[in-house]
Structure 1
């Protein structure tokens, strides 16, 4: 991989590893609809001009049904669920649970008839990864906030299904126009709820900084860097950074928010990461031989 590729890879590892931290800060000052609206509206405002300049928006019309489904499963539903869950869960726990997306993607691809035959290694990866999820979620399910755990796992499931839609139904749609359109649609969907729950007083500087970071860095800039990374190293290599994001989420939560670094977090991190690597060996979930999908998102916040 070239030096430029490594730089882009490192940027993506950080950019999509810190949203959990920023969401945790932002939900303490604004409602979930306002948070998601700010992310999507600003992201759309940045990416739409780029999409219009590059062309390709016209090709979206004949794909509007899968495009709406993709937007719902990649942005509209999961960003609400994750933000609501982080009102009660630590950012590091949320980041680790989302790391189960590749494992869920393997299962979904297999059940939908589009996945490769699972080898013994991949079956072992599924088991190891799910064991990691169980280690992490068990305390919350038995004596904490089980609904928040369910919300994050539903988010991970959405992130697992959305790329399959992109690969199977939107593979001939340019990624930048598709992303800009999805963010615009999400912003429109959240506008009424955001207006209804708009804060009466100006949020703190920390909250405003978190919102700005989510919108400008973790949404708009992230997609630009992601597309550049795909062009530089290809889709398969580009997606490897998703295995680094959980570590960034844990380090950020512990170092900047003082979240606990417990033995269960360390064990679950090793199990989920190891399981994800094993479960996805031998091909991307749902990817058929000869396919070269260019997904707009891959299970990131």
Structure 2
């Protein structure tokens, strides 16, 4: 991989590892779930739409609007709201670790929808190891004070596993940047009224405001631009490897900047999930997970 490729890879590992921290700061600062999602999507759309218009009018939208709405629902509309709601109770570290199960869930979902791809013994082992890790991580929360939040994050992980399958099967011929801009615009429109109805009574603190701006500009607009550049540089399969690094970044950010606790069981669970992801996706294009 070229030096530019490594720089983009490192940037994506960080940029998509810190949203959990920013979401946590926002919701703990009194920002409503709809407001968090609206701020992120509206700012992202504001940056990406002008760039997308350079590709010309979205004539492809007429033939692809149904899968586009489905993709938006599974990638943005549902997950980003559920994440914000869950982080009202969970730490950003725990949230990031649970999301690490996405590649494993992706393999399971592919099998459930009738994927003809055969699973080797190594990949079956990876599924087992990864699911044990998820169980170790989630079980204490399911039996404790935050079962709803744990379930919400696991639902997000399922959504994140389904969305790429929709894109690969129904939107493969749609240009990525315009598609992303349209999805963000749709989400911003959906959450505009709920956000207005839950607008904070007081001006948010500088820290909270910076988190909302960071979510929209850094973790959404800039992230997608870097992501597309990384795909062009190294290809989709190699580009998606950074998803293995994101949870570790989320943990480090939560521990160092928010003073969150990393327990031995959380570290062990993450190790199991990471090993499971590597094994379960071996020999398989990560873009499908």
Fold in common (TM above 0.5): yes
Residue by residue over 1:57-113, the C-alpha shift from the partner in whole angstroms, topping out at 9 and shown as x without a partner, is 221221000000000000000001011000000000000000101101001011111
- Which residue matches 1:170? 171
Cα pair distance change 1:227/1:96, threshold 3 Å: same
Matches within 5 A, 1:111-150: 111-150=112-151
**Deviation of the 1:120 alpha carbon:** 0.8
1-structure distance, mates of 2:61, 2:236: 22
Residue by residue over 1:25-56, the C-alpha shift from the partner in whole angstroms, topping out at 9 and shown as x without a partner, is 01122100000000000100100000001236
Cα pair distance change 1:141/1:149, threshold 3 Å: same
1-structure distance, mates of 2:32, 2:53: 31
- Which residue matches 1:158? 159
Verify the 8 A CA contact 2:236 2:287 in the aligned structure 1.
no
2-structure distance, mates of 1:43, 1:196: 21
2-structure distance, mates of 1:119, 1:253: 36
Verify the 8 A CA contact 1:110 1:286 in the aligned structure 2.
no
**Deviation of the 1:135 alpha carbon:** 0.9
TM-score by length of 2: 0.98
1:28 and 2:28 are equivalent in the alignment: yes
TM-score by length of 1: 0.94
Verify the 8 A CA contact 1:106 1:285 in the aligned structure 2.
no
Verify the 8 A CA contact 2:241 2:286 in the aligned structure 1.
no
1-structure distance, mates of 2:153, 2:214: 21
Verify the 8 A CA contact 1:114 1:286 in the aligned structure 2.
no
- Which residue matches 1:46? 47
**Deviation of the 1:285 alpha carbon:** 6.2
- Which residue matches 1:295? none
**Deviation of the 1:261 alpha carbon:** 1.3
Query: What secondary structure is seen at the aligned counterpart in 2 of 1:58?
Result: coil
- Which residue matches 2:16? 16
- Which residue matches 2:251? 250
1-structure distance, mates of 2:279, 2:57: 37
- Which residue matches 2:237? 236
- Which residue matches 1:293? none
2-structure distance, mates of 1:208, 1:258: 20
**Deviation of the 1:284 alpha carbon:** 2.5
1-structure distance, mates of 2:85, 2:112: 29
**Deviation of the 1:143 alpha carbon:** 1.7
Query: What secondary structure is seen at the aligned counterpart in 1 of 2:59?
Result: helix
2-structure distance, mates of 1:115, 1:244: 29
Cα pair distance change 1:115/1:88, threshold 3 Å: farther
1:217 and 2:218 are equivalent in the alignment: yes
Gaps in structure 1 of 5+ consecutive residues: 288-297
Query: What secondary structure is seen at the aligned counterpart in 2 of 1:143?
Result: coil
- Which residue matches 1:290? none
